[in-house]
Structure 1
Amino acid sequence: MLKLFNTFSKKIEIFKPINPERVTMYVCGPTVYNHPHIGNARPAVIFDILFKILKDIYPEVIYARNITDVDDKINDAAKKNKENISNLTQRYSTAYEEDMKNLGIIQPTFIPKVTDNISSIIDMISKLVELNHAYVANNHVLFDVESFPKYGEISKLKQKDLISGARIEVAPYKKNSSDFVLWKPSDNDTPGWSSPWGRGRPGWHIECSAMIKKFLGNSIDIHGGGQDLIFPHHENENAQSTCANNSILAKYWIHNGFVTFNKKKMSKSLDNIIILNDLKNKYRGESIRFALLSAHYRQPLDWNDTTMMNAENSLNNLYSILLNNVDIKPKISRQTNVEKNLLNDINTPEAIASLYSTARDLQKAKKNSLKSEIKGILLRESYFLGILQKEPNEWLQKSDLLSLTDKEINNLIRQRSLARKNKNFQEADRIRKNLLDNGISIKDEKDETRWTR
C-alpha cells in the first residue's frame, strides 16, 4: 500500500489512482539555459524511484517530465553568449539528459518540449478566453485570478496575503496584481509564434498545463516538483487547468525539499551552486545519486565537503560485500523491507538502513543457500534505490580511493575516546557513525579501540 504526503491536504494519504489500470504522473523538468545543478537532480532522482514503485504495482504508468525551452532566462542567456537560442536550448537539453543518464534515471514515458506543443498551448489559452477566465490587455493574454474562487488552495495563500512583486509580475494593464501571463508579445529578436493575439510566446505556467492535457489527460494522479514551485507555478497551473478542463488537475501534489550547501541556500550571489557537470568529473553518478537519497525527500538536504566522500565510501563497502559473494547466484526475491520503506512516503533514509541490514546479513551468512536468498533480496532492494547497478569488480577497480587514511582513522578514534571520557556521548556516536559511513568498523576493548575496513 503506497502512502504519499499530499501538499494539497497537508497530510500523508493512501494512494488511490483515478484509474488503477493507467496511472499518470507529471514532474516539472528544467528550464534549459545553463547546466543543471544538484537541486535539479533531486526531484529527478526522487520521482525516478516513485516511477519504479508505481510500475511494480500497476499495469501501466505514464510519466511525463517536460523540457522548458521557451523562457526569458533562455533569451537573456543566448543574448549574453551571443548564441542562437535553438542551439543553446538543444545544448543544455542534451546536457540535462546526459546528466540524468549518469544518475541512473530511467527514461520517462514522455519528455515533451514547449516548442513542440505551441498549438496545444494556444488552444488552451483560447478556451480560457472563451470561458471568461482570461482577458486580453496590452497585447498580452492574462488569467483572471478573481474568476477562480479556489485560487490559493495548493499553496494555502489567500488573495489578501499575496504580495505584488514577490515572484509576480506587476503591470498596469492587469485587472488584479495576481493575474498572470498566458501569452506575451514578441519582438523581432525574441522567439514568437502566430496566434489570435498576434505574434508572441507563452507564459511559463500555461506551458505545463497544456502539455499535461495533451500527453496525460485533463486530470492526473500525481503532479511533482520542488517546493519552490508550489507558488506561483503549481498554483497557477492548477487554476488555469481546472478552469479550462472543468476538472481537477492533479489528485496528489508531491514536492521535494531544497538542497543547501553548508546550511546555506544555494545562490549565484554566494557562488555555492553545485553544477552536476562539475561534480561528475570527480565522482560517479551512482555516488551522487546515493548522496541525494541520504535525507527524506520532503526535508532539506545539506551538501557539504563530506557528503560525496561518505556516499562513495558507503558504496565501496557495499560493493565489497557483493564482490565477496560474486559467485553466489541470487534467488529471485519478492517484496523487501526497502520497498516497504519506500511505500511509506518514499522514506529513503529508512530504505538505505534496511539495505545496510541486508548487506550485513549477507556478510554474516555461512551457507550458500542462505547467501543466495539474501543476495536476491539485496539486488532487488538496490534496483529500487538505483544503486549497486555496476559490476562489483568494475566499480572497485575504478574507485577513486576516497577512503580515510590510517592516520585519519586513528585521529578520529582518539577524538571519540576523548569524547567518551568527557561523557560527550552524542559526539562519540557521531564519530562512530562517520567511521561506519566510511566503511570502518570499530570494536571497543578493555584498553583500546580496534578498527577494520
Structure 2
Amino acid sequence: MTLRLYDTRAQDLRDFVPLDAENVTMYVCGPTLQSGPHIGHVRAALSFDLLRRWLAHRHGRVTFVRNVTDIDDKVLANATDVEAWWALAYRIEQEFAAAYAAVGILPPTYEPRATGSIPQMQELIARLIERGHAYPASDGSGDVYFDVRSWPEYGSLTHQSVDAMEAAEDADPRGKRAPQDFALWKGAKPGEPADATWASPWGDGRPGWHIECSAMARRYLGAEFDIHGGGLDLRFPHHENELAQSTAAGDAFARYWMHNGLVTVNGQKMSKSLGNFTLAADVLAAHDPLVVRYALAAAHYRSSLDLSESSWAEAESALARISTFLERGERLAPYGWAQVKEGLPTEFTEAMDDDLSVPRALAAVHTSIRSGNALLDAGKYDEAKQDVADVAQMTSILGINPRSPQWRRTESGAEASALDALVQTMIAQRAQARADKDWAAADRIRDAIAAAGITLEDTPAGTHWSIDG
C-alpha cells in the first residue's frame, strides 16, 4: 500500500515519496508568541503530530521542525513596561509547550526561535537582492521588500494572480514599488525597544514574518525537504510568500504542502483577532487531556471542526470502551494466549494511508473492540488476543491508548486501598461459598456487591471488580 497525502499546491492527492525513505523531513509553522494558545492551536499541532507518528511507523525516523515566532509586531504590541517583549514571548512559549504536552503531542526534533536565526535570514535576503527579487526601500527607512512581480511563479501555492491579491499589510507601505510587495526586513521605528532591533546591511531593524520560516527551514532541513505544514489560514500570505522567496533564492524548498482545517465557532474561524477563541488552558481544566486529544483527532485533519459539549461526551464514551476492552485483555494475559500475527489490521492501515483518515482508523479500532469483546464473552480467549493486540497497537500509534504509561492513572490514597481491601474480602468470601456449594450465600454476596454499584467479572485469571460507569 502507498501513502497518499493531499498536497495543497497540487490541489490533489499525491503518492508520498520522501527524499530519504529512512528519514522523513517536516517543517510545521509554530505559534506567534503574543498570547496564550487557544484550542485551534492545539488542534493544528495535533494534526501534524498524528502525521508524524504515522510517518515514523512507516519510515522509522522523522526529523520534525516546528518554529516559534518570538519577535513580531504583535509580540511588541502586547509587551508592557512590566513584561518586556522577550519575557512575554518566553512565558507564552511555555504555555504552548504545556498545552501540547498535556494532550500528548511529541516534542519536535528542533524547535528554533526566530531570534536565533537572524544571520540566516539576512543571508537569504541578500541572495534575493542579488538575484533581483528584492530591493531596499529608496526612502532610507531600512525596509527591504520582496518584488512579487519579479517572480513569475508568485501565487502558485494558492493559485491566485498578483492583480487579484490585496495589498500586503505586514509593514509600513513606505518605499514599496507595488502594494503586494511584502516585507523581508523592517527598519527600526521610533518608540520601538532598542533590544528588538539587529544590525544589518540595510540599517538596524528586525525580520519580516515570512522570511523567518524560509531561513529556519533551510537551516535545519536543507534547501529541499519533504513536507511543509500549517493551518489553513496560513496558506496566504504566509506560505505563499515563503514559497516565493525560497524558490526565488534558488532553493527547491518543500515538496509537499499540507494544511489542517480550522476549529470554528458557529461557522466562523476561531481566532484571537475575532475574539471568539477558547483558551486551551480552560478546555484542559474542564476535560481530561486524553478526552481532548481524542475529540480533536476524531475529525479528518483537513475538515473544519466545530466543537461542542457533545464532542467531549462522545470522546469520553469512546475512550471508556477502549480502556475497558484493553483492561479485560490485560487481565486475561496469563491464560493460554496464542501467538498473535504481526502487523496492523488492513482497514486501519488503508485508512491512515488514505491522507491520514483518522475517522476511518478509529472505526477500525472500534470494530476490533466489538469483535474482541464478543470473543471474550464467548470464552474464546486465544482468539480474542489478536483483537486485544491490534487495539493496543492502533491506539498507541494514534497516541490514545488509555493503558499507556502517559495516560494511565494509578489509584492511590487511603480510600482506594480501603475499598479494594473490602471488595477483595467479599470476593474471597463468595469464592469460599461457591467452593462449599453454598449457592445462596454466594448469590447474597454478589447481590450486595452489585447494590454498591460494583461489577464482578469472573475470568480464568480470577475475579475482577470495577465500579459501574
- Provide TM-score, normalisation by structure 2: 0.80
Looking at structure 2, the residues matched to 324 and 299 of structure 1 have their Cα atoms a distance apart, in angstroms, of 35
Change (3 A) 1:283 1:299: same
Amino acid at match of 2:214: S
Matched, 1:177 2:187: no
Deviation at 1:156, TM superposition (A): 0.5
The question of whether the paired residues in 1 share the 8 Å contact of 2:142 and 2:188 is answered with no
- Provide TM-score, normalisation by structure 1: 0.83
**1:149 equivalent in structure 2:** 152
Change (3 A) 1:102 1:390: farther
The question of whether the paired residues in 2 share the 8 Å contact of 1:6 and 1:254 is answered with yes
Matches for 1:7-18 after TM superposition, within 5 Å = 7-18=8-19
Matches for 1:362-441 after TM superposition, within 5 Å = 362-365=372-375, 366-390=379-403, 394-395=408-409
Amino acid at match of 1:146: R
**1:345 equivalent in structure 2:** 355
Deviation per CA, 1:194-238: give whole Å up to 9, x if none.
Answer: 111121110000000000000001111110011101100000000
Q: CA RMSD in A?
A: 2.2
Looking at structure 1, the residues matched to 240 and 129 of structure 2 have their Cα atoms a distance apart, in angstroms, of 19
Looking at structure 2, the residues matched to 19 and 363 of structure 1 have their Cα atoms a distance apart, in angstroms, of 41
The question of whether the paired residues in 1 share the 8 Å contact of 2:33 and 2:68 is answered with yes
**2:425 equivalent in structure 1:** none
Aligned residues: 397
Looking at structure 1, the residues matched to 104 and 373 of structure 2 have their Cα atoms a distance apart, in angstroms, of 26
Among candidates 159, 164, 189, match of residue 161 of structure 1: 164
**1:288 equivalent in structure 2:** 292
**2:205 equivalent in structure 1:** 200
**1:251 equivalent in structure 2:** 255
**2:43 equivalent in structure 1:** 42
- Secondary structure of 1:326's partner? helix
Matches for 1:435-450 after TM superposition, within 5 Å = none
Amino acid at match of 2:116: D
Which residues of structure 1 form unaligned runs of 5+?
Answer: 399-451
Change (3 A) 1:257 1:382: same
- Secondary structure of 1:201's partner? strand
Which residues of structure 2 form unaligned runs of 5+?
Answer: 413-467
Matched, 1:139 2:152: no
Looking at structure 2, the residues matched to 318 and 396 of structure 1 have their Cα atoms a distance apart, in angstroms, of 17
Looking at structure 2, the residues matched to 182 and 391 of structure 1 have their Cα atoms a distance apart, in angstroms, of 46
- The structure number with the bigger radius of gyration is 2
Matched, 1:335 2:338: no
Looking at structure 1, the residues matched to 154 and 54 of structure 2 have their Cα atoms a distance apart, in angstroms, of 32
The question of whether the paired residues in 2 share the 8 Å contact of 1:262 and 1:304 is answered with no
Amino acid at match of 1:48: D
Deviation at 1:40, TM superposition (A): 0.7
Looking at structure 1, the residues matched to 148 and 274 of structure 2 have their Cα atoms a distance apart, in angstroms, of 36
The question of whether the paired residues in 2 share the 8 Å contact of 1:332 and 1:377 is answered with no
Percent of aligned pairs sharing the same letter: 36
Deviation at 1:263, TM superposition (A): 3.0
Looking at structure 1, the residues matched to 36 and 106 of structure 2 have their Cα atoms a distance apart, in angstroms, of 20
Deviation at 1:117, TM superposition (A): 1.1
Matched, 1:313 2:317: yes
Looking at structure 1, the residues matched to 273 and 222 of structure 2 have their Cα atoms a distance apart, in angstroms, of 40
